[in-house]
């Protein structure tokens, strides 16, 4: 793909391109393997390579042997700084829209947590239904499906209680106390 060619033309490793562009190394690996890139990732890469997003979607012929110079120039570092100013990601790798205020960001994160809980719950229901069917078809005299249902069920229950803030053993207060505790040790 063209991203790989442009990267190799600059003599950069995937890790160096990730540092310069603000795109994760894993995303660059996926793009270079031919997976579809998000518009945000393409914008970051286009800015680093000083080209258009549309040019990155085309696959040129690779006729040149790339120069092997793995240094990052000051211009590259300036491009990285510029990209990091307007491309921010949260701790889970989601793009943070700069037009959102703190309350909207918190609401977005909360909705993502709820979504993750429902995915966990659906997965639990489907897998347990399949296991129950297997149990009943192979040996209905002993209902062993209770044990994985109980184990995973406790995890789903704890996930739900945490997401819906019924109780929070490891909440914001706990995090703050732990940070303060670590800072006092140093």
Identify the segments of the chain with pLDDT beneath 70: 1, 58-71, 83-100, 186
For residue range 151-180, list pLDDT tens digits in order.
999 999 999 998 888 877 777 778 788 888
pLDDT the model gives residue 107: 85
What pTM, to 2 d.p., does this model score? Answer: 0.47
Q: Do 143 and 134 meet the contact criterion of CB atoms below 8 Å apart?
A: no
For residue range 120-132, list pLDDT tens digits in order.
999 999 999 999 9
Token duo for residue 28: 């660059």
Q: How many CA atoms lie within 13 A of 92 on its CB side?
A: 9
- Given the candidates 3.20.20.140, 2.40.100.10, 3.40.50.1440, 1.10.260.40, the CATH classification of the domain at 2-96 is 1.10.260.40
pLDDT the model gives residue 7: 84
pLDDT the model gives residue 6: 85
Domain residue limits, the chain:
2-96, 102-185
Among the listed residues 88, 91, 92, the one whose alpha carbon sits nearest the alpha carbon of residue 100: 88
């Amino acid at each position: 793909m063209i991203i790989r060619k442009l990267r190799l033309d600059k003599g950069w490793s995937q890790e160096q391109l990730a540092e310069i562009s603000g795109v994760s190394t894993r995303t660059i690996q996926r793009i270079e393997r031919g997976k579809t890139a998000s518009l945000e990732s393409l914008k970051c890469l286009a800015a680093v390579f000083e080209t258009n997003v549309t040019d990155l979607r085309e696959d040129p012929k690779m006729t040149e042997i790339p120069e092997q110079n793995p240094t990052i120039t000051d211009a590259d570092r300036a491009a990285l700084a510029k990209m990091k100013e307007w491309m921010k990601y949260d701790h889970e790798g989601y793009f943070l829209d700069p037009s959102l205020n703190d309350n909207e960001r918190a609401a977005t994160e909360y909705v993502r947590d709820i979504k993750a809980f429902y995915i966990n719950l659906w997965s639990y229901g489907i897998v347990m239904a399949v296991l129950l069917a297997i149990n009943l078809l192979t040996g209905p005299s002993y209902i062993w499906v209770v044990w994985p249902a109980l184990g995973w069920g406790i995890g789903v229950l704890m996930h739900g209680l945490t997401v819906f803030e019924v109780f929070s053993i490891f909440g914001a207060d706990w995090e703050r106390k732990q940070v303060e505790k670590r800072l006092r040790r140093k």
